[in-house]
Structure 1
Amino acid sequence: MKAAATGLLVVMAGVFLATRYFEPAYPWLGYVKAFAEAAMVGGLADWFAVTALFRHPLGLPIPHTAIIPRNKDRIGEALANFLKENFLIAPVVARRMRNIDLAGAVGRFLQAPHGEETRIRQGASRLIADLFESLDDERLGGLVKSSIANRIRNMEVSPLLGHALASAINDDRHVPMLEAAIRWMARALDANEELIRDMVHKRANWVLKLASLDTKLADAIIEGLRKLTADMHTDPAHPVRVKAEEALAQLANDLQTKPETRERVEAMKVQLLDNQSVSLWLDTLWQKGREAIIRAARNPDAAMAGKLGEILQSMGQSLDKDARMKSAINQFARRAVSGMAASYGSSIVKLVSETVRGWDAQTITNRLESAVGRDLQYIRINGTLVGGLVGLTLHVLDSI
């Protein structure tokens, strides 16, 4: 574009010289000469203006030229303040995220492992893998662990758990969990049959032992428990099973509305976070999660295939359709990002400012010129053409 703009200026100079030479023989060439003459003036003026932004025209230290190199520190400060005031203040972030359906977007993304999003997913996957491999593992792991622990510590988890449990009950997603608990009870009964018999035998008095009634009593207890677990497994309307479902529903309600339950859950949460075993678990979780993210990012199609792909698609459907869960996740994301902006916004602003200040004048000139230089060359072209039209108009008016 720079060559095109300069070439147009050279063409106008050639036209001007040619028309000036032939004008005595062909008077009508005066109009062409007027256009070319004014075009040179407009082109040179805009060349000077565009060049003065990035460097001294012709290397001459003319005042108020090389504006960007001379003011790079002030540009860095202005850019940093712009980021802070428009993007990195907690209320601004919260307001901008209020209309962002993050959970819905993630849900739709997980439901579409193939299709139009494939190329975007592959590019994003490579970026994620490169990012996780390049960052300092120990420092990043410590940052992630402390950030997760602090966010969980400052967040009231009871309503979120209550929403999730209520949503699962409404969609009957608790049924597999309940049936798994019943099967576990049956297996535990079989595995501890001798323990039950021994307990009955030790607690029976000598009369029952003399008549061998303790054995019959133990058999009756074990058979009764087996029948109870079998009936609960086969009969969805079994009274004990109904009571268990009612207890789950009550727990979901208490988690959201009952202060005593919420306080107990929050106290348990704090105790868990302070436990050394949980800290070690978070370390292990980070390492496994990081490795899994890198593997999945390097091969996104494999990650979305098989059972894992089915689980992720099922999660995507739930996120996309469950309004209550979607609202809870969006609220959590909004609070998390706003908290990050409040905690780290100043550090990001300082990083931007110091980075720009650390660039040498030639670096910042080259980067800005490569970003906007093409449009600036259009200014030179437009200045040449508009100047020519203005010169032609004035020549016509002067000839009347």
Structure 2
Amino acid sequence: MSSADTHHTVRRWALALLLFNLLLWLLMLFLQKQHPEWLALGYIKAFAEAACIGALADWFAVVALFRHPLGIPLPHTAILPAKQAQLAQGVAKFIGTHFLDPAVISEQLVRLKMGERLNAYAQQHLTNAVIAKRLPKVLQAMMRRVPVDAPERLIGWSQEAMTRYLSGDRLGRSTARLMDIARAQGLDEKLVNAMAQSLHEFVTAEDVKERVRPWLTELATAAQKAEVVDASWWGKMKNQLTGQAIEWADDWIIDKALAWVADFTEKVQTDDKHPVHVWVAKHADGWRDKLYNDATWHDWLAYHVHDWLRTPTAEELVKTIWDKSRTWLDNATTNDSPFIEPLADKIRDVVLNYINDPIQQSRLTEKTAQLAAVGLTEYQDDIREWLTAQMNAWSKERLNSALENAIGNDLQYIRINGTLIGGLIGLVLFTVGQWI
């Protein structure tokens, strides 16, 4: 049975006892008229009469605490609603002083060993499914606080941070190490072979002559216009030729040049010891040494990289990285993301391993107690004001209902006790009167 049901039951008992004594009193009045010689009727009548008076007096006292009896606005009735502000302030002060005392709460938390309790709860209830169910909402809430577009100060901070970090010697050493990695993977040879292959495909294409001829024609025209003393040997020779002879000469030269380039590029691809590979390897070693040790190269790298960092292109790169990262994170935080379960598993392992350590449990207990004490010390006045404001905001009906539900049974028992005690007092007084 709920407290409200119990309260109504006790109140009905108090009312029933009052009505019983009232009927008993009326019955005694009737019987006394019929049988005045029955002396016991006077004692019973005195008990019932005094019981009714005691019950009604206590009913008035109880009702006057909460409302006006019978709706009549008598002075000093409806006391609690009238004193709601003082009551709210007193209750808030009492709770804040005695129940929310920082020292008491801190001591109680230490006694409860909150670290061990948290560990026991976590080991039993903190499963991968629990974390995976709530993790997307937490991550999505965090992502909603992240701006969609890259903030300007982030762009400026990135530029400043990269400028400070990328010193000349660091750029040089990093580039040299990249070259070492690339050469260890044979990327230098692959790069030369790729360039040779591209050139080979160009010179062996069917339309290569038509693509090369305008370029040679432009050279020939320029040579014809130049003075003989300044012209090259090929230009001087072409100055002596005209018409079909120039086209035959061009075709012959083009065929020879293309055949030589095709043969050259084919040898470069098939011979790892070709002079081109040797030359590239030799100069790569020299470039690597300079990147590691040459201050001039370091200064050159720093100047150009720092200058590039201040360009709109660098800003766009930061914005692109931001957009791609944010899009990836948005996709990674959805409920069906493949990253949620592995992340939940990792979080669970970290939390359980951390909290299972007895030393960490003691620290958690102490930290919880300290935080509670600090928080209560700092916000105790705010808590009192909040409690006071909450109770003042209650309607009179809600306040009466809350108080009656809390102490209503005791108040109804006061009515019952008043009925019985009043009746006994009336009986005693009547008996004394009869003796005197």
Larger Rg: 2
TM bracket, shorter-chain basis: 0.3 to 0.5
TM-score (norm: length of structure 1) = 0.48
